[in-house]
Structure 1
Amino acid sequence: MRLTNWLVILFLFQTCAPPKVVKFLNSELDYSQYHSYRLINYKSDDKSFAAEGMAFYDEIENGIKQNMAAKGYQAADRPDLIARYEIVSTTATETDNRNYDPYGYNYYIPPTTKKYTQGIVLIELRDRKQKKLVWQGSLDLKYTMKGEAKLTLLEAINRIFESYPYEAGSNDKLIPEE
């Protein structure tokens, strides 16, 4: 019985933990050759988005540019790296149907419904000349209020870039191996 209790507690702690950044780092490349980047996103070039949607993409791009600059990379027209991002999201509904009556009075407890947005933020760096994937990071998101979206995305971008271990022009890792 005690083992079961500990397994349940361990499971609960794991489900409460923040989502983990999923990353790929190409270990076959010479990172000292990378000094510049160009940011692209196919959806942000689409002019059919409303002004609010374009402002949303601008915020994301500013977060990526800030993180690239913090690592010493310069924006350029003919860059060493192509930086690309993608956001996939959907609205989901979660219903709690617990009709539990602890006192046995048999009265109806209505289900509670909560809407939230869940998605994935993906950022990747590709070698422009070799057309090889250099690094890729992604993070799952889940938020309930519209106001949380901007903050949640910026936090996600910062967390994803924490997994990129190189400064511009260096093969020395800033982040130890896990």
Structure 2
Amino acid sequence: MSNRISSLGKSSLFLLLFSFLFSCHPKVVDFVNTKSNFNAFDSYLVVNFKANQTDISEEGRRILSEIEQNIHLEMNRRAYRPINTNPDLVVRYELISNQAIKTQQNNYGYSPYSTFPSQSYITVKAVLESALLIEITDVKTKKLVWQASVDMDKYTKKSKQEEIIKDAVTNLFDTYLYRANSNTPDESLISAK
């Protein structure tokens, strides 16, 4: 009987640990257009969805620059060439953010030793939620080749902003497994974690 309880406890502990580890990794939502002719892609141009807006703060420009640098690193790992005129692919990225309001109600229960009735109070907190979206489009056909997005809230435990951005971009590109001029997915492009 104790062996059965012990193995049941170990199984439960394993499942709990597995679910905790799995939930800590950000979920990437991706799409690959497998009908694309990856053999024809050799060059790319990176663009930001909001590149023409002049109201971006200095901090915002630094973040966008960091995202672009990491996109260039990932495209370089796949042997694509960056060019400014007539690229095969356009790599577009967008940092989407939204402010959400979270409320929490805290209750103080009744105590027979207290002369005060039970009380509750509500805490309201504004939270910034954000996601990073990257997509690759075939310039000739104007069709989407690949798209991936990740919820940036899972990265809040990282200490440095550069690490957060690098990890987010790397996790997204772990779903784009095509090298330049190749129709064959290359699993070695998945980063070691």
TM-score (norm 1): 0.78
Between the aligned partners of 2:70 and 2:139, the Cα distance in structure 1 is: 22
Q: How much has 1:151 moved relative to structure 2?
A: 3.3
1:127 corresponds in structure 2 to 138
The answer for the alignment partner of 2:148 in structure 1 is 137
Gaps of 5+ in 2: 1-11, 189-193
Residue of structure 1 in register with 2:49 after alignment: 42
Greater Rg by CA: 2
* Paired residues of 2:158 and 2:164 also in contact (CA < 8 A): no
- Unmatched 5+ residue regions in structure 1? none
Evaluate the alpha carbon distance shift between residue 147 and residue 110 of structure 1 in structure 2; reply closer, same or farther with a 3 A threshold: farther
- Would the alpha carbon gap of residues 140 and 113 (structure 1) be closer, same or farther in structure 2, given more than 3 Å must change? same
* Count of aligned pairs between the two proteins: 171
Change (3 A) 1:35 1:25: same
| Equivalent pair of 1:117/1:144 in contact (CA under 8 Å) | no
Q: State the TM-score, normalized to the length of structure 2.
A: 0.72
- For the structure 1 residues 152 and 92, does the alpha-carbon distance in structure 2 shift closer, same or farther, using more than 3 Å as the test? farther
Higher mean Cα deviation, 142-151 or 70-79? 142-151
Map Cα deviations across residues 58-99 of structure 1 (whole Å, 9 max, x no partner): 111111111111111110121110110111112334333131
Q: Which residue of 1 aligns with 2:5?
A: none
Q: Distance in 2 between matches of 1:105 and 1:141?
A: 47
Match of 1:69 in 2: 76
- The answer to whether residue 122 in structure 2 is matched with residue 117 in structure 1 is no
User: Residues 136 and 144 from structure 1, CA distance in 2 versus in 1: closer, same or farther, beyond 3 angstroms?
Assistant: closer
**1:149 CA displacement:** 4.9
Distance in structure 2 (CA, Å) of the matches to 1:74 and 1:167:
11
Q: Could you tell me which amino acid in structure 1 is paired with residue 138 of structure 2? A: D
The aligned residue for residue 176 of structure 2 is 164
